[in-house]
Homo-oligomer: A and B are copies of this chain.
C-alpha cells in the first residue's frame, strides 16, 4: 500500500558485495581472520567472547568490534579481556561494512590474527549484510527454543557455524540439541555445531580450536595461490 518503486540506475547490492569482498581480501593479506557473530539479543555473544579470550593461548592476537544500537555496555564488559572498539549504530538494526571499517581505523591491528565483529542482537537483519568476514557464526541459546533455525532461516543459511550457548541451562529448559541441529541442517547442511556453556567453560576449547583451524586453512590457502 505504501510501496513506491524508484529506479536508481545503480546496483547498490552489487556495490556492497564488491566492497565487502575487497575488504575481506585486505584482511586476508594482513593475516587477520574475521568472524561475524550474529544472534538474538541476550543469546550470549559477549559472554562467549569473554570466555574465548580467557581460554585463548595468546590473548594478544584477538580483537573485537562490538555493535550496538545504543550504549557501550558490551565494550565495557569486553575491555578487560581484549582490545575492543564499540560501534554504535544510533538506532540501526544491524552493522554495515562502512561502520566496521570506520571502527577498525580506531583499533590497532598490529599483531591481531583474529578479529571478531559482534553484531547487533538481531536474528534477522544482520543476515543480509556481508561485513567482509571470513566466517559467519550464529549463536543460539538453549533458552530460545529448538524450533528457531527454521523460523529464522537466513541467519542459519548464511552462517557456517552455530554455537549453541547456555548449555548449562539444558536441565531446566525444554530444548533438544539434536532437534535444533537437525532443523538447522535442513537449511545449512554443512553447518558446524559447538555446544558451549561460556560461564562454566564447557565446550570453549573445541570452539577455539575450530577457529584456529579455520584461520590456518585460510592462510595456507592464500600461501598456495
Contact = CB atoms under 8 A, between A and B. Distances in A.
Interface of A: 1-2, 4, 6, 8, 10, 12, 15-16, 19, 40-43, 68-71, 73-74, 91, 93, 98, 120-125, 141, 143-145, 147-148, 150-154, 166, 168-169, 172-173
A70 B150 contact: yes
A141 B42 contact: yes
A-B pairs, 10 with minimum CB distance:
A42-B144, A143-B143, A93-B124, A40-B41, A40-B40, A42-B145, A41-B123, A1-B98, A71-B150, A2-B12
Contacts of A4: 8, 10, 12
Given A70-B152, A121-B152, A125-B125, 4 more contacts: A4-B8, A41-B144, A69-B152, A70-B151
B41 A152 contact: yes
29 contacts: A2-B12, A4-B12, A6-B8, A40-B41, A40-B121, A41-B148, A41-B151, A41-B152, A68-B151, A69-B152, A69-B153, A70-B153, A71-B147, A73-B147, A91-B154, A93-B93, A93-B124, A93-B125, A120-B124, A121-B151, A121-B152, A122-B122, A125-B125, A141-B143, A143-B166, A143-B169, A168-B172, A169-B173, A172-B172
Contacts of A168: 172
A123 B152 CA distance: 14
Majority-rule SS of A interface residues: loop
A90 to B, nearest CB: 11
Nearest to A141: B143
A104 B180 CA distance: 32
A64 to B, nearest CB: 16
A4 B152 CA distance: 29
Contact of A123 (B15, B16, B121): B121
A152 B70 CA distance: 7
A74 B147 CA distance: 10
